[in-house]
Each structure stands twice: as C-alpha cells, then as structure tokens.
C-alpha cells in the first residue's frame, strides 16, 4: 500500500507514521504544510526503542510531494487543510511536541494500531 501522512510541521506524528508504515512493508512518505527544521529527537528515540530507525527522514513540504498514486492520504489530526489534497482520513492525534517521551510513546502506539487496521 502506498501511504502519505500529512501534518503541519512534519516533525513528529507524520514522521513516526512514515517510519512505522515502511517497517510494516508499505511504501510511505510524510509531509507538512509548514515543515519544521528537523525530525523531533523524541520521535527518533521512541521509534528506535521498538527497533524502527528513522535515518534519512527529514521534514518535507507538501508542495514538494507528487500527490498522485497514493492509496491512502491521512491527516494526523492537526487541522491540515489542503484544498488540492484529497484526504482519505483524519486520525485526530494530539501533537506530542513538548509533552515528553511518554506522550510520544502513546502517540506511536496509536499510530501502530491504526496502521494495523490498513493491512
């Protein structure tokens, strides 16, 4: 399955979703409407704790992604509105920025559970 995860900053939720989806064997990308400077260190740490590496991932603008050909386009729940982007779902996940590693772990677990329903 070819998946695209979209949020505002593309530093946490969408990056974790991309990494987990790839680990599960999907083709995945992530992007943001206003990408931040780097992937959040807590996101890298908690995905690494479960054996999923995020090396090579970096925040990207939705403007830099060719959006055709995706099987599923998901908003992570941050009010992303892209008039030209046909969202298939909004996962409604709270932003973990500044909320500590435990919240990142909780968010990662929610992402994993939602991805399991796509298989």
Q: Report, as residue numbers or ranges, the catalytic residues.
A: 7, 78, 82
Starting from the edge strand earliest in sequence, which strands make up the sheet with 27-32, in order? 27-32, 2-7, 72-75, 89-90
Burial bucket for residue 67 (CB in 10 Å: 0-12, 13-18, 19+): middle
């Amino acid at each position: 399955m070819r998946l695209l995860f979209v949020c505002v900053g593309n530093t946490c939720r969408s990056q974790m979703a991309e990494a987990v989806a790839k680990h599960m064997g999907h083709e995945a990308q992530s992007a943001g409407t206003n990408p931040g400077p780097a992937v959040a260190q807590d996101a890298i740490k908690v995905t690494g704790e479960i054996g999923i590496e995020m090396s090579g991932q970096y925040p990207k603008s939705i403007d830099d992604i060719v959006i055709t050909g995706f099987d599923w386009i998901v908003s992570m729940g941050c009010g992303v509105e892209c008039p030209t982007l046909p969202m298939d779902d909004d996962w409604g996940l709270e932003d973990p920025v500044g909320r500590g590693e435990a919240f990142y772990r909780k968010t990662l677990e929610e992402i994993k559970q939602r991805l399991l329903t796509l298989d």
